A and B are shown apart, each in its own frame.
Chain A
Amino acid sequence: MNTSEVKGRSLWSDARRRFFQNKAAVAGLIALTLIVLISFIGPFFAVWSNETIDWDVMGSAATLGQPSFASGHYFGTDDLGRDLYSRVLQGTRVSLMVGVIGAGISVLVGTIYGTVAGYVGGRTDQIMMRIVDILMSIPFMFVIILLLVVFGRSIGMLFLGIGLLSWLDMSRIVRGQTLTLKNKEFVEAARATGVSTTTIIRRHIIPNLLGIVAIYATLLVPAMILTESFISFLGLGVQEPLTSWGALISEGAGTIRYDTEWQLIAPLIFFVITLFSFFFIGDGLRDALDPKDR
């Protein structure tokens, strides 16, 4: 009997098929994979490290620091004579990490918080969601800046600040979804058989939420990257010798009047391609996961 069992076609495999039919989403996925690969493999091909200063170039970056293969500065140098290729790759790693960790915190905390509030309902829900409302009403950019100023600039503090802000929207979205799911008959069926609340949340609610969560998380990664870039653009954020896209773009924008446009263009290209990729992937996921909405 077991030999003739038919394999099921799950909603996930359906979604995967639809996702890979979407050209923009697949292009985004490929571009993003390339950028991630370059940021990790690229340093092996670098001539200069991201901290070393090329003393010959220093001070005359506009004339000697141009992108060239001969000097080993593939993307040119910055004003201090540091290799932009190494710095951009290093900034890519930091920015992607900020995005992924920020979205990760938001998925973890937001999903659990939102499902509990939505499923338990009643007064618990009221209290939990009012806390979210209060936190949301605080201007978070201000809090992050304050945190960085008071406790010093460190990546840990940046993650803490971004983590504090990122899960609020997610918990609201998840709670709304949970409210519609918990009145579905299959949840009622589970309650009627006596399945415990935690098991219902784990087995019936969360798997049905994951589509929405995945979509929102992919759109959240670029939002996190933008937040970090903005903070770094203001001069807070990651500390030298580490850098990030925001910091690099800020430097590049500051020196553009000395004809060193490559200092802006190199990090900007990476930044823009990554953001577009994430948005296309998010779009593709949305189309793939709720086909009814198209």
Chain B
Amino acid sequence: MSEPILSVRDMKVWFDVRDDEAGGIFPKTKKLKAVDGVSFDLMPGETLGIVGESGCGKSTLARSIIRLVKATSGEAIWMGRDLLKLSDADMLAVRKDIQMIFQDPLASLNPRMTCGEIIAEPLKTHFKGMGKAERREKVSMMLEKVGMDPAQINRYPHEFSGGQCQRIGIARALITNPKLIICDEPVSALDVSVQAQVVNLLMGLQEELGISLLFIAHDLSVVKHISDRIMVLYFGNVVEIGTAQQVIEDPQHEYTQKLIASVPIPDPRKEMERREIRRAKRAAS
């Protein structure tokens, strides 16, 4: 296989939080190790799923890579250069190639801007010389690409459904032709049928454009569907990383096994049986 497009080495993000147990007038702080030494590689065109329970540092890890959160130590090598050491101007150039999709589709769109303006924002930032007409045309094309009607370009976010809003978010992420998209739980706020549509849209676009995806989710079934490889995080540490099939079907770590066992099966009878087994196990122990 070729060179990794992004390799994260020993990433640590520690926050200072107030230590409520220590007394005194001035609040003492202790370190909250949100991400504590995470390393992984991401190949071009590959999808890496990141799973873990809420609060395990998935989002913080993603945000530290694009410097939305300051990393305490570590490296994020992007095409040979460490993102964490770049100057702001160099980082701006890199941001064109790394885009992000957010969890809450409506909250990630400015309610005072039309969907056209929202999608055009990265263009305005990175292609300052581009004319209005050209920008508009690109936005229209992008809307079509994500399966929306370009006639809706002047509508506002509150006039769209959650799934449509997420499509706008995806269009905004794709408009600069990025090489990597970080998806921070892009489907967890959507209902199941829309989830499938959005995931399939992402997969189709990835195949077409050859983008790498960093796909964060807490829903294992979605991650299994979209990912080539899966990384399992637990309290800021990697407990397991491997191909999707291997992690789901033959989990090595106890935590992963528990996580997989907790996924509900969409079949009431099987789910009942499984509950029975679990109850029996608990009674036995």
Residue of B nearest to A206 (CB): B112
Chain A residues with CB under 8 A of B154 = 5-8
Alpha-carbon distance A199/B124, docked complex (angstroms):
11
- Which positions 171-209 of chain A face chain B at CB distance < 8 Å? 184-186, 188-195, 199, 203-204, 207-208
Check if A10 sits within 8 Å of B112, measured CB to CB: yes
Check if A191 sits within 8 Å of B68, measured CB to CB: yes
Q: B162 an interface residue at 8 Å Cβ cutoff?
A: no
Shortest distance from the beta carbon of B39 to any chain A beta carbon, whole Å: 23
Interface residues on B, range: 35 or more
Q: A4 an interface residue at 8 Å Cβ cutoff?
A: yes
The residue among A4, A8, A204 with the most chain B CB atoms within 10 A of its own CB is A8
Given the known interface contacts A5-B154, A188-B102, the answer about A194 and B140 at a Cβ–Cβ threshold of 8 Å is no
Residue of B nearest to A10 (CB): B156
The residue among A10, A191, A203 with the most chain B CB atoms within 10 A of its own CB is A10
Shortest distance from the beta carbon of A265 to any chain B beta carbon, whole Å: 46
Interface bits B100-124 vs A (CB < 8 Å: 1, else 0): 1011100111111111000001100
Check if A185 sits within 8 Å of B151, measured CB to CB: no
Check if B107 sits within 8 Å of A195, measured CB to CB: no
Which among B74-82, B91-99, B241-249 touches the partner chain? Answer: B91-99
Shortest distance from the beta carbon of A95 to any chain B beta carbon, whole Å: 34
Q: A37 an interface residue at 8 Å Cβ cutoff?
A: no
Check if B107 sits within 8 Å of A6, measured CB to CB: no
Interface residues on A, range: 20 to 34
Chain B residues with CB under 8 A of A188 = 68, 102, 108
Chain B residues with CB under 8 A of A150 = none
Check if A192 sits within 8 Å of B95, measured CB to CB: yes
Pick the contact of B112: A11, A189, A195, A199 (CB < 8 A).
A11
Check if A8 sits within 8 Å of B102, measured CB to CB: no
Q: B278 an interface residue at 8 Å Cβ cutoff?
A: no
Check if B121 sits within 8 Å of A195, measured CB to CB: yes
Check if B125 sits within 8 Å of A194, measured CB to CB: yes
Shortest distance from the beta carbon of B20 to any chain A beta carbon, whole Å: 22
Residue of B nearest to A186 (CB): B110
Check if A8 sits within 8 Å of B114, measured CB to CB: yes
Pick the contact of B155: A8, A186, A195 (CB < 8 A).
A8
Chain A residues with CB under 8 A of B156 = 8-11
Check if A193 sits within 8 Å of B158, measured CB to CB: no
Alpha-carbon distance A188/B95, docked complex (angstroms):
13
Residue of B nearest to A12 (CB): B112
- Which positions 113-162 of chain B face chain A at CB distance < 8 Å? 113-115, 121-122, 125-126, 140, 150-156, 158-159
Alpha-carbon distance A208/B110, docked complex (angstroms):
8
Residue of B nearest to A7 (CB): B154
Shortest distance from the beta carbon of B2 to any chain A beta carbon, whole Å: 26
Q: A134 an interface residue at 8 Å Cβ cutoff?
A: no
- Which positions 41-87 of chain B face chain A at CB distance < 8 Å? 66, 68
Alpha-carbon distance A11/B102, docked complex (angstroms):
22
Given the known interface contacts A1-B151, A7-B154, the answer about A194 and B111 at a Cβ–Cβ threshold of 8 Å is no
Shortest distance from the beta carbon of A194 to any chain B beta carbon, whole Å: 4
Alpha-carbon distance A11/B110, docked complex (angstroms):
11
Shortest distance from the beta carbon of A129 to any chain B beta carbon, whole Å: 19
Check if A6 sits within 8 Å of B102, measured CB to CB: no
Alpha-carbon distance A184/B109, docked complex (angstroms):
9
Given the known interface contacts A8-B114, A184-B107, A186-B108, the answer about A193 and B125 at a Cβ–Cβ threshold of 8 Å is yes
Given the known interface contacts A8-B156, A9-B159, A185-B108, the answer about A193 and B102 at a Cβ–Cβ threshold of 8 Å is no
Check if A194 sits within 8 Å of B151, measured CB to CB: no
Chain A residues with CB under 8 A of B159 = 8-9
Check if B104 sits within 8 Å of A185, measured CB to CB: yes
Alpha-carbon distance A250/B108, docked complex (angstroms):
55
Chain B residues with CB under 8 A of A5 = 150-154
Q: B229 an interface residue at 8 Å Cβ cutoff?
A: no
Shortest distance from the beta carbon of B220 to any chain A beta carbon, whole Å: 24
Residue of A nearest to B88 (CB): A194
Q: B12 an interface residue at 8 Å Cβ cutoff?
A: no
Alpha-carbon distance A5/B95, docked complex (angstroms):
31
Q: B179 an interface residue at 8 Å Cβ cutoff?
A: no
Pick the contact of B158: A11, A189, A190, A194 (CB < 8 A).
A11
Pick the contact of A193: B95, B107, B114 (CB < 8 A).
B95
Report B's interface with A, CB cutoff 8 A: 66, 68, 91-92, 95-96, 99-100, 102-104, 107-115, 121-122, 125-126, 140, 150-156, 158-159, 169, 172, 176
Report A's interface with B, CB cutoff 8 A: 1, 4-12, 184-186, 188-195, 199, 203-204, 207-208
13 residue pairs A–B, Cβ–Cβ below 8 Å: A5-B151, A9-B155, A10-B156, A12-B112, A189-B100, A193-B125, A194-B91, A199-B125, A203-B113, A204-B110, A207-B112, A208-B110, A208-B111
Q: Which 7 A-B pairs have the closest CB atoms?
A: A194-B95, A185-B108, A8-B155, A207-B112, A8-B154, A185-B102, A192-B100
